[in-house]
Amino acid sequence: MKNFRDILNSDGIFVFDGAIGTRFYDKGVYINRSYDELNLTAPDLVREVHDEYVRVGADIIETNTFGATRHKLQQYSLENKLKEINVAGVKLARQAAGEDVFVAGAIGPLDLRIEPYGPTSFDEAREMFAEQVYALLEGGVDLFLLETFSDLSEIQQAIKAVKQLCDLPIIAQMTVQTDGKTVFGATPEIFTSRLETWGADVIGVNCGVGPTHILSALEKMRRVTTKKLSAQPNAGLPRDVQGRQFYMCSPEYMSKFAKRFIKAGANFVGGCCGTTPQHIKLISDAVRAISPRQMKAAVKPTAAPVKVIDLKPIDVQVVPAEMRSNWSGKIARGEFVTSVEVLPPKGCDAAKTLDSIKLLKANGVDAVNIPDGPRAQTRMSAQATAILVEQNLGIETVLHYCCRDRNLLGMMSDLLGAAALGLHNLLIITGDPPKMGSYPDATAVFDIDSIGLTNMVNKLNHGLDLGNNPIGCPTAFSIGVGVNPGAINLDEEIKRFEWKVEAGAEYAITQPVYDTKQLRDFLKRISHVRIPIVAGIFPLVSIRNAEFMHNEVPGVNVTPEILERMRKASDKSKEEARDEGIRIARESLTEVADLVQGVQVSAPFGNVKYALSVFEALPEFSAKSENVAA
């Protein structure tokens, strides 16, 4: 069995199950009885609920023991069956979980007022919790989930009870009201700091009033702790409909908030009251699309890159990287690759674009990079442009493919079609938001980001769709991703790069590089997950162009020295500025050539001659310079 502490040390996102009590209610068990007793009287029903959540993708399921403390069981004259109920609860969950899903021992509040708000002492409360903890340990839980607490003093005693009996991980979750505080007035900042001090391994919020307030609490919690966070909201507030309670948040709505929870810093997401297997399925799908499921294995700088490890294709022959395309083969063999970025045409006539690309093939460039709606501008489809290039000119393309414009179904269709039409090289990017472009009111989709899309393409290469369903003949894509050595939040950029490598990335292309020291430093920091890096080189054409790149393109750092050189050249003439920009690009290429495994040069204003001039810095291209007109 896996150890839960292993995933605590990873950066993965993991999914809890949903409601158990309201699930029993949905199945006809009314609230006038003990739901915990069902472990003994209706074990098949309990196991059925657990099975539902495991089937839809839960990584962690909770035991049906939320109310199985002595005081709560006394209300049903079941206190003498406390141990039996808790042990049975663990065994039923374990039967559903198998070897791949973790079982969390669920412990709720005592339903008592403890000091200073009531007559129950701290010691008495801790003893009651310890009695349940002991029984859950005997059953064999993997971790403890302390959930739906409002009183900090009470959850402190629950944490102490666990720690005095074992060293299993503890997830401690409070519940907040519409004002963002607990019933006792504790803010998220306060209870987060206290729970961290008391030794909780994961700090979270659950139940409450729905996902919106949970998100607000998470954002405040992240500011005061580096601990892992969890979120398990109700499906909104319940409404009484002809005597039955209904929760109104749809699965689609909850899955959208799951993405927001993750963005706010949560590593564990799931549901509480009112959430169903359908809610958890869509939450699980959203999580799988954003983050690879596997835990990263530590690798030495010289080791092979981390790969997805849970793909299990049946009767599928995966195409080796060196056989997918000439571009992929050169990268796999450690050879230096060259490419030029050429924008798709603005209209439906690609003749001029194709004519310029002929020069690239004649001069031995390995591939043409075709951007996909850069800066949210409208141009011919990058995929259509790539097909026209390959079919008419016989030079390979590297198709940029972004997540902004298509939902999961559209992306799957596009990729299968691209494979059928012979496109094999991808650069996977999240995409610029529409507000950056000419149509700021356009809708962005972003069902998944570049990490999720990398995971999807890797699955397609193994003959599986995103839901692990066979597709027959596997695709043969060379999987590239973007990386930004000059990102403002470099730690976040590196973490995302690690996830991309884990999801199956085989090479990466950088943002335009003007600060070569910055690139060297970045490459040192990613040495533990290093895959072949292709450096982006963008020849500057004017001081205005240089200032734009420095100030308005996120993560691009144009050094003061280069800015000054472009300023002086621009003062002389446009031609001098263009030539100076090419000289700077050549110098950058010379400085980084020994660090990377290839270069992507952009063609300013679509003029590939400028890009070819940059390649003259490479010995193998200098002899061909006569082919480039002045």
Residues whose CB falls within 8 Å of the CB of residue 529, separated by 6 or more in sequence, listed in order: 296, 299, 305, 306, 497, 498, 501, 502
- Per-residue pLDDT, averaged over 197-205, amounts to 97
Q: How confident is the model at residue 246 (pLDDT cuts 50, 70, 90)?
A: low
Asked if residue 115 lies in contact with residue 166, where contact means CB atoms within 8 angstroms, the answer is: no
Q: pLDDT digit string (tens) for 18-28?
A: 999 888 988 88
Lowest mean pLDDT among 62-66, 245-249, 322-326, 578-582: 245-249
Peptide bond before residue 374 is cis, with ω within 30 degrees of 0:
no
pTM, rounded to two decimals = 0.56
Query: What's the CATH code, domain 321-535+596-618?
Result: 3.20.20.220
Chain mean pLDDT for the chain? 86
Residue 315, pLDDT score: 67
Q: How confident is the model at residue 188 (pLDDT cuts 50, 70, 90)?
A: very high
Distance CA 310, CA 460 (A): 13
Estimate the crossing angle of helix 543-552 against helix 560-572, to 10 degrees. Answer: 150
Residues whose CB falls within 8 Å of the CB of residue 184, separated by 6 or more in sequence, listed in order: 117, 150, 151, 152
Highest mean pLDDT among 61-75, 113-127, 249-263, 458-472: 61-75
For residue 134, give the nearest of 161, 106, 170, 97 by alpha carbon: 161
- Per-residue pLDDT, averaged over 596-623, amounts to 84
Residue 90, pLDDT score: 97
- Per-residue pLDDT, averaged over 110-121, amounts to 83
Superfamily the domain 4-290 falls into = Homocysteine-binding-like domain (3.20.20.330)
Q: Where in the chain is the domain with CATH 3.20.20.330?
A: 4-290
Instruction: Tell me: pLDDT of 430 over 50.
Output: yes
Q: pLDDT digit string (tens) for 290-330?
A: 654 443 333 333 333 334 434 455 567 899 999 999 999 99
Distance CA 594, CA 359 (A): 26
Q: Where in the chain is the domain with CATH 3.20.20.220?
A: 321-535+596-618
**For strand 238-241 and strand 478-483, is the pairing parallel, antiparallel, or unpaired?**
unpaired
Q: pLDDT digit string (tens) for 498-533?
A: 988 988 999 999 999 999 899 999 999 999 989 999
Residues whose CB falls within 8 Å of the CB of residue 171, separated by 6 or more in sequence, listed in order: 104, 143, 144, 145, 146, 147, 200, 201, 202, 203, 204, 230, 268
DSSP state letter for 628: S
Q: How confident is the model at residue 477 (pLDDT cuts 50, 70, 90)?
A: very high
